Amino acid sequence: MSQILVYVPDNSRHAGEILTLARSLGEVAAVAFNEEGAAAAAEYGATTLYRVNEPQVDSYFAAPKAEAITSIAQGQDWGGILLPGSDEGKAIVGRLAVALNRGFLTDISTLDSDGVARQDIFAGSRIVTSKVTDGFTIATVKAGAVNAEPAPSTPSEEAVDVSLSDDAKKVSIVETVDEPAGDRPGLTEADVIISGGRGVGSADDFALIEKVADSFGAAVGASRAATDSGFYPHKFQVGQTGTTVSPQLYVAAGISGAIQHRAGMQTSRVIVAVNKDSDAPIFSMADFGVVGNLFDVLPQLLEEVEKRK
């Protein structure tokens, strides 16, 4: 059985997804730089855990982890290498590919034992199957594409000592600022997302979107028109240049449904649209749509939710 090398950044849902995919392909060797990554490796069935001991790894941007993963990758013949479809995963995969002089795929949503992967391209409007021709797949896995299934294991641990090169220390992380997400779940973790668009009309009126979100224990999302207009912070933008989400329920209120927005939410299980324009493209993909003013429809929805609580 082939060995699949997986970089596990933390103990998020996405980490579980990548490990679950890797398990379907072979024996999993996980690389972790912290306790959370190590915990995810054990929760999702890794047989080997590489623990990288290098206290400086989080002092510099991307390159140290790429260097450590490259040195582990070079040690043995792998059946494949999987990384998260995050900024960090992309930074690492680019560096790894140049160092190993090997091809790679980004944003895959499936991968079979023949190395054939599925990629959603052009804002999700086309699906391609592709493969790396030298029979060894390096890939980043799209968040939300795989169902994370725990399979607890006790991986054998191997401590890895690395000494960082000068090149790896070129970009210092001077400061890390977490902008408070409040009590709401994060966009990629939420089962329900209530999103507002330009139709919400103002930053003040986003309070209504937040109220609906809170009644569902949901995350709040926004279209680019809404974030560009300053109605809601940019980090909540859903879409091609924002976050790609795949919740159980996605409610789009006052969002027209431009292709770049649809690209970020079209794999949601159930889609609901509220829009006063019956011709809005969002309705063509909605499981349930209300043609109407969101300031009438959402308060009434809230009332019904409260009644049932």
Ligand X SMILES: Cc1cc2nc3c(=O)[nH]c(=O)nc-3n(C[C@H](O)[C@H](O)[C@H](O)COP(=O)(O)OP(=O)(O)OC[C@H]3O[C@@H](n4cnc5c(N)ncnc54)[C@H](O)[C@@H]3O)c2cc1C
Which residues of the chain form contacts with ligand X (CB under 6 A)?
A: 103-106, 121, 197-199, 223-226, 237-242, 254-256, 258, 260-261, 264, 274-277, 280, 293-295
Question: What's the burial of 176, exposed, middle or buried (CB within 10 Å: 0-12/13-18/19+)?
Answer: exposed
- Report d(CA 104, CA 97) in Å as an integer: 7
Give me the residue label for tokens 């890390």: 176
Q: Build a one-symbol-per-residue string for 123-162: x at contacts with another protein by CB under 8 A, - elsewhere.
A: xxxxxxxxxxxx----------------------------
Mark the segment that binds another protein (CB under 8 A) among 30-38, 44-52, 177-185, 198-206.
177-185
Out of 77, 152, 163, 178, which residue is the one contacting another protein (CB under 8 A)?
Answer: 178
Residues within window 27-56 making contact with another protein, judged by CB under 8 A: none
Q: In the structure encoding, which two tokens stand for residue 37, read together?
A: 């990554």
42-60 as b/e: b if 16+ CB within 10 A: bbbbbbbbbbbebeebeeb
The binder of another protein chosen from 113, 156, 202, 241 (CB under 8 A): 241
Give 49 or 83: the residue with its C-beta nearer to another protein: 83
Residue 296, interface with another protein (CB under 8 A)?
A: yes
With CB under 5 to 8 Å by kind, the binding choice for 305 among another protein, ligand X, none is another protein
**Of another protein, ligand X, none, which one does residue 99 interact with (CB within 5 to 8 Å by kind)?**
another protein
Residue 163 binds another protein, judged by CB under 8 A: no
- Tokens representing 241 are 């240049």
Bridge partners of residue 196, in order along the sequence: 222, 253
Q: At what angle do helices 63-74 and 87-100 cross, to 10 degrees?
A: 50
